[in-house]
Amino acid sequence: MLEFNCAMPKVTFGAGKINELGMLSKTLGKKAFLAVDPFLEKTGLSDELTEGLKKESIEVFKFSEIKPDPSCFAIDKAGSLAKEEACDFVIAVGGGSTLDFGKGIAVVAGNPGTSWQYTRRQDHTPKVPGENTLPIVSVPTTAGTGSEATHFSVLSNPEIREKSTIAHERIIPRVALVDPQLTVSMPSKLTALTGIDVLAHAIESFINIKATPFSKMVSIEAIRLVGMYLSRAVRNGRNMIARENMAWASTLAGIAIAHANPTLPHALGQAAGGYVHAPHGASVAACLLEILKISFMEDQKSFGEIALALDPSVRDLSPYEKAKESVTLVERLFKDIDCCVRFGDLGLKEEDIHRVTEIALTGYFTGINLHPKTADKEEIIRIYRACL
């Protein structure tokens, strides 16, 4: 029997749509906690946003002390501030770290306990965000995490060198405001790494053993768009057609992983990234190719469809050849955008592998179990070593 649920934010997409932030936010309350990427403080955009909100009679408490891979402790501190300031809702403007930070604030400000207590971990029953969780408006400035469309908030616990995820429908943003113009200033290396994260989301949600017709429809379009436009965006960041399509691909891939979770690449990438405090996109990119190489035989139909989305000229190949070609095409894309990253480059050492494997198995067991190829402890250790 075909059964699935679809929960998504209201998506407002287009160049210049950032100017509608105040209008889109005014129904959510009178006072906003504006969490902005520190970089935006230098550009003057945060001041423009504040003025635009004030024109709609929205009081603003601005916060920009946000670092990559936000820690649960920083989120707790900011959430307490939002509560003290009696903020009605959260607006998060920035990359994936800022969007996840904003979601964490919404949980802490409206619920008892700490943000880490709301994360999903093996042998741990997470607290559940209640109806007082603050509404969220998410405004991405990168084309990568798709956090503007998901019920996930990834946070780090530096005391134990782990990442974990709050996952609940109450942190799906009420509004996802996606303005491709905000991504134009991304440097080429960041464009490449965030773009690979989009591709990973789309591929993983497509091959997920519990993927639905809805998630497959959305993820295959994201794969097609990445194949067509990522290289162009990396080569020329001011190519608005490329930027628009990558921004849309990112949101689509976010919608896809909200319905069919990421699988093995994100499980291993996030476990390692949390341990060595490495950027999310780089951590996933470090293992994506190796995992695709060992997985395509397990679901030749899905991998063949991925190949077709990336290059329609493969349509006459045999099912096996088509599936294998999907890996070749992804590898070619990596080379085209000069994305060559390994776990060793990120600080992971041979002596860390067993500990990181345990973190993956206990903290990311859902993604591991949803991957089409079974990966036990020995296989995960082998993958980490191959990607070191």
Q: Are residues 210 and 327 in the same domain?
A: yes
Non-local (6+) Cβ contacts of 227 within 8 A are 309, 310, 311, 329, 333
Q: Are residues 177 and 194 in the same domain?
A: no
Q: Is 220 inside a domain boundary? A: yes
- For residue 137, pLDDT beyond 90: yes
Task: Please state the domain count of the chain.
Answer: 2
| Inter-residue contact 200 to 284 (CB < 8 Å) | yes
Confidence at 376, pLDDT banded by 50, 70, 90: very high
**349 lies in which domain range?**
188-386
Q: Are residues 254 and 175 in the same domain?
A: no
Q: Is 3 inside a domain boundary? A: no
Length of the chain as a residue count:
388
Mean pLDDT rounded to a whole number for the chain: 96
Q: Residue 123 has what pLDDT? A: 78
Q: How far is CA 307 from the centre of its chain?
A: 23
For residue range 256-276, list pLDDT tens digits in order: 999 999 999 999 999 999 999
Q: Is 78 inside a domain boundary? A: yes
Q: Are residues 205 and 146 in the same domain?
A: no
Q: Is 1 inside a domain boundary? A: no
Q: Are residues 27 and 172 in the same domain?
A: yes
CA distances for 46 relative to 20, 120, 166, 265, angstroms? 14, 33, 27, 34
Q: Is 4 inside a domain boundary? A: no
Q: Is 275 inside a domain boundary? A: yes
Percent of the chain with pLDDT over 90: 93
Q: Residue 366 has what pLDDT? A: 92
The whole-model pTM stands at 0.96
Domain boundary among 143, 165, 183: 183
Lateral strand order in the sheet of 175-178: 10-13, 175-178, 136-140, 89-94, 31-36, 59-63
Q: Are residues 243 and 361 in the same domain?
A: yes
Whichever domain contains 127, its CATH number is 3.40.50.1970
- For residue 81, pLDDT beyond 80: yes
Q: Are residues 266 and 332 in the same domain?
A: yes
Q: Are residues 236 and 355 in the same domain?
A: yes
Least confident of 29-43, 166-180, 199-213: 29-43
Domain boundary among 183, 198, 225: 183
CB atoms within 10 A of CB 317: 15
CB atoms within 10 A of CB 313: 9
Q: Is 95 inside a domain boundary? A: yes
Q: Are residues 250 and 380 in the same domain?
A: yes
Residue 124, strand partner residues = 121
For residue range 230-251, list pLDDT tens digits in order: 999 999 999 999 999 999 999 9
- For residue 30, pLDDT beyond 80: yes
Q: Residue 256 has what pLDDT? A: 97
Q: Is 2 inside a domain boundary? A: no
Domain boundary among 126, 152, 183: 183
Q: Which residue has the tokens 């990568």?
A: 144
Whichever domain contains 237, its CATH number is 1.20.1090.10
- For residue 44, pLDDT beyond 90: no
Confidence at 173, pLDDT banded by 50, 70, 90: very high
Q: Are residues 17 and 121 in the same domain?
A: yes
